[in-house]
Amino acid sequence: MSLNIAKYSAVERAISRVFAKEAQKQQSAFFPLVATRAPSSSADEKYAWLGDIPQMREWVGERVFNEIRSADYTLKNKHYELSYGVARTDVDDDRYGMLNLAVPEIARRAAKYPDKILFDLINSAESETCFDGQYFFDTDHSWGDSGTQSNDLTYNAADHTAVTAEEFSAAFHAALEAMMSFKDDAGEPMFDPGADMSEMNNLLIVCHPTLHKAASDAFVNGLVLTSKSATAGDVVAATNNPLAVPSIFPSLRYTATTKFDLYYTGGALKPFLFQDRQPVIMDSFGVNSRKDKHIGFGADMRFNMGFLMWNYAVRTTFN
């Protein structure tokens, strides 16, 4: 029996079109919210410049060329794949309609796979190092003239397994104050809102679903900022007008039930890094050969997730 190449090729083209269309729908993925996309052209990339972005200065005399305070942070790309086989007899017998349902789901999972890798990274962030050699969430970050800074906080709740809205609100404000007090290697504020406080519209809370109600109830009356410490007194201003409440993202992929993370996502650099070596693509196998009982379809992509700006991230653990 001769191969029905025309039919196999038609099925291949149809599947490839559906896959490509669905794989482009990455707007439903989470990772672009908190990860800066960095194109990669090699097996790995070195980020020596991290943590040393200079401030403007008055130009007096000659220019001052700031030397990079070299960070030893290299991220290697990884290769991921997803394969799917269709029985050749099903194509011969016109029994491949189920692919119209399966292929979009395969494409969706491929496009959102970086979310899984990102949450694996988030869940290990208290034991994985970032550019300054400290754990991403740690109590003693230090870089140049920043002083010692902590983005790994604790909050004593009456019952850490049943956090109230009031407790969550207080913990959130403590996390925000900590973030707004962070300084760069020159001792300058990292988080510096303008007069309209528009940056406050770019705050994101990530937590386990068990904390979602407490987080949501904490902002029923909007967000009103008040200073609680002299350290942040000149940065956190009181206001009578509620600001935009933080976005709240509950996910089972965030495995800790007594923690939450606060991220600032409005900068050109975000807390995490999506190192994009090769976008998801799809290939077919065995179309022109009867040696295989299946026509194979395989998606693959090369990328990795890494830590970028710990200064834009604060974790709080309820005790």
pLDDT for residue 229:
45
Residues 312 and 176: their CA atoms lie apart, in Å, by 10
Is residue 185 within 8 A of residue 146, CB to CB? The reply is yes
pLDDT for residue 268:
85
> pLDDT digit of tens for each residue in the chain (319 aa)?
456 777 777 777 777 787 777 777 655 789 999 999 988 888 877 776 666 566 666 676 776 555 544 456 788 899 998 877 777 777 777 776 767 777 788 888 888 899 999 999 999 999 999 988 899 999 999 988 889 999 999 999 999 999 999 999 999 999 999 999 999 888 888 877 765 567 778 999 999 999 999 999 998 877 766 554 444 434 344 444 456 689 999 999 999 999 999 999 998 889 999 998 888 877 777 666 666 777 777 788 899 999 999 999 999 999 9
Please say whether the dihedral angle defined by the alpha carbons of residues 156, 224, 257 and 126, taken in this order, is positive or negative. negative
